Structure 1
């Protein structure tokens, strides 16, 4: 019984870490993967590097983005931070 009482604070600490740190991070990663998987041609996006562009073409792992001046750049799908709006 004493060992259970001695381990209770450590177990409680792990439970708190799970609900305050690990679980929210897993939810955020899942949402990001889903957003990147649902990208479509014409979506206006921002990359993790801060590039604003429109999706011109989509491949399995890459995107071709069009800038305002018409130039086209190729990025990894995982480089997309957020979708601004969909056309």
Structure 2
């Protein structure tokens, strides 16, 4: 009378792919993200680690802060860099951004 009858709906049609087609764009997005962002970053980190391991006394380097100098002493975690005649600073190894070609500091 006042309340209408409620009938159960039929079962939804089953997806023959098992819902894989709905997840495919998300999976594809993660694959693209991996190749465009994560993988190159891992490659750069590996190259930086190899550069840090190959540092030697006398190398001319630039720190991440932009200080250029010549390595005078190498410790396990720290490097002493001569930035001017008689002026040395101690920096952590990971802060070395680049190794310069020999003779670069003579041009400054």
- TM-score tier by shorter-chain length is over 0.9
- Say which SS state the counterpart of residue 67 (structure 1) adopts: strand
Spell out the pairing of 1:1-87 with structure 2 (5 A cutoff): 1-86=17-102
Aligned-pair CA distance for 1:67: 1.5
Q: TM-score, normalised by structure 1?
A: 0.94
Structure number with higher helix proportion: 1
- Say which SS state the counterpart of residue 80 (structure 2) adopts: strand
Q: What is the count of residue pairs matched by the alignment? A: 87
- Unaligned ranges ≥5, structure 1: none
- Bigger Cα Rg: 2
Q: TM-score, normalised by structure 2?
A: 0.76
Structure number with higher strand proportion: 1
Runs ≥4 residues deviating over 2 A: none
- Unaligned ranges ≥5, structure 2: 1-16, 104-108
| CA distance in structure 1 between the partners assigned to 2:56 and 2:82 by the alignment | 13
| CA distance in structure 1 between the partners assigned to 2:71 and 2:35 by the alignment | 36
Taking only aligned residues, the RMSD between alpha carbons, in angstroms, comes to: 1.2
